[in-house]
Amino acid sequence: MTYDAIVIGAGAAGLMCAAVAGQRGRQVLLIDHAKKIGEKIRISGGGRCNFTNIHSGPQNFLSENKHFMKSALRRYGPQDFIALVEKYGIAYHEKTLGQLFCDGSSQQIIDLLLNECEKADVDFRLSTEVDAVRFEDGVYKVDSSSGSFEGQSLVIGTGGKSIPKLGATGFGYDVAQQFGLGVIEPRAGLVPLTFSGVVLDGLASLAGVSVDAVVSCRKTSFREGLLFTHRGLSGPSILQISSYWRFGDGLTINLSPDVDLFEELRGRRQRDGKKTLNTHLQMLLPKRLVEFRGRADVLALRLADISDKMLRKEVERFQNWQVLPQGSEGYRTAEVTLGGVDTKGLSSKTMEALCQPDLYFIGEVVDVTGHLGGHNFQWAWASGVAAGQAI
């Protein structure tokens, strides 16, 4: 069976690409090994799908080439996908930092994409394992558990290695290397960080506590929620910084970004110095966190009896906390995969491989990774459209 284009991977990018190409009159086959379409879309955003971010731009992405994503994002930005959502009458709302979520469920976005594909007469093959991909006589030949297919163009939208229980594999990287493209070493991104020993014991005692925090790694900082878990640290600020963290890097955490604790406690010392430091800190921070970070002997002192030098030293424990993660939870819980197909080998306009005609890579399989908050979906839409308009 021969098609104009074969798209492998029926995730966000693959569905978008197939729909755009099909609506241009191309005969498209979309293959996926899963039984159900768009499982990562389904679980995203707590089941409501954080489908884009109104502020999404090149500044929200990591890549060895920080300019690569500009072309696709400029030609298909957040407002373009929002217009599609509104066309289907899907109600949505904005959360913090420009994140857009469905009022209903993620299934609405999946249905939107399936409807777009249906209008484009896209041919689907689900529960289909790809055994081999070849380029012979000017066409791509795909051998699969559902038979052999041929296509003038081949698009790889198989994603990265994150969340293997949903079927994630390194298939896309293998295809890239088969055709001579480089692959930037993949690693887990947007993932909780783990600790060991005494530090872990302390963190585990705080499981369930959350605070607003600024988390820094080298020259990068994020201010969002921080959550203590039985394994270590999580929450949006940790997930964000994890994409910049490398083994051996320490983190600096400010657990009270809105209040200069030193100045606040100096003022309280003048007004109400008879109360203990512990009492005052618990008015500003969660009790368990105060007991965890504070030194018991100092916390027990009356605020009036604590010198500026001692107070400043104690405050540092909360506003300049230095921690050394031992690792991350890995692909099991990672929301994205960093690294991927090296953009040096791709056209930023069309996503086509420079060394292999009519071979395209889109979405998460490419070395373009967004921050938390809808940016990775926006890259899926933009890169899918770029390839869909080219094949």
Same-domain status, 183 and 196: no
- Cβ-contact 364, 233 below 8 angstroms: no
Same-domain status, 45 and 165: yes
- Cβ-contact 61, 343 below 8 angstroms: no
pLDDT at residue 318 in the model:
98
CATH of the domain at 106: 3.50.50.60
pLDDT at residue 9 in the model:
97
Q: How many structural domains are present in the chain?
A: 2
Same-domain status, 209 and 228: yes
Same-domain status, 323 and 355: no
pLDDT confidence band for 95 (50 / 70 / 90): very high
Same-domain status, 279 and 344: no
CATH of the domain at 271: 2.40.30.10
Residues contacting 225, CB < 8 A, separation 6+: 210, 211, 212, 213, 235, 236, 237
Q: Is the pLDDT of residue 303 over 90?
A: yes
Torsion 341-345-351-353 (CA) sign? negative
Segment 50-72 mean pLDDT: 98
Distance CA 165, CA 181 (A): 27
Same-domain status, 49 and 142: yes
Nearest to 333 by CA among 190, 125, 176: 190
Do strands 327-328 and 193-194 pair parallel, antiparallel, or not at all (unpaired)? antiparallel
Distance CA 382, CA 73 (A): 6
DSSP H helices in 66-195: 70-75, 78-87, 107-119, 171-178
Nearest to 8 by CA among 205, 140, 182, 192: 140
pLDDT at residue 31 in the model:
98
Tell me the average pLDDT of the chain.
97
Distance CA 113, CA 254 (A): 42
Nearest to 30 by CA among 357, 345, 362: 362
In DSSP notation, 44-77 reads: GGGGT---EETT-SGGGEE-SSTTTTHHHHHHS-
Quick one: what percent of the chain has pLDDT higher than 70? 100
Q: Which domain holds residue 146?
A: 2-187+335-388
pLDDT at residue 11 in the model:
96
Same-domain status, 66 and 150: yes
Displacement of CA 36 from its chain's centroid (Å)? 22
Distance CA 355, CA 366 (A): 16
pLDDT at residue 44 in the model:
95
Same-domain status, 181 and 94: yes
Q: Whole-prediction pTM value?
A: 0.95
Same-domain status, 230 and 358: no
- End position of a domain, from candidates 286, 308, 328: 328
Q: Is 116 buried (19+), middle (13-18) or exposed (0-12) by CB count in 10 A?
A: buried
- pLDDT for 202-248, tens place per residue? 999 999 999 999 999 999 999 999 999 999 999 999 999 999 999 99
- End position of a domain, from candidates 280, 305, 328: 328
Q: Please state the φ and ψ torsions of residue 284, each to the nearest 5 degrees.
A: -110, -25
- Which structure tokens are listed for 40? 């990562």
Segment 140-148 mean pLDDT: 97
Which DSSP symbol is given to 203?
H
pLDDT at residue 93 in the model:
98
Same-domain status, 221 and 307: yes
pLDDT at residue 1 in the model:
81
Same-domain status, 226 and 265: yes
- End position of a domain, from candidates 283, 312, 328: 328
pLDDT confidence band for 274 (50 / 70 / 90): very high
Same-domain status, 79 and 102: yes
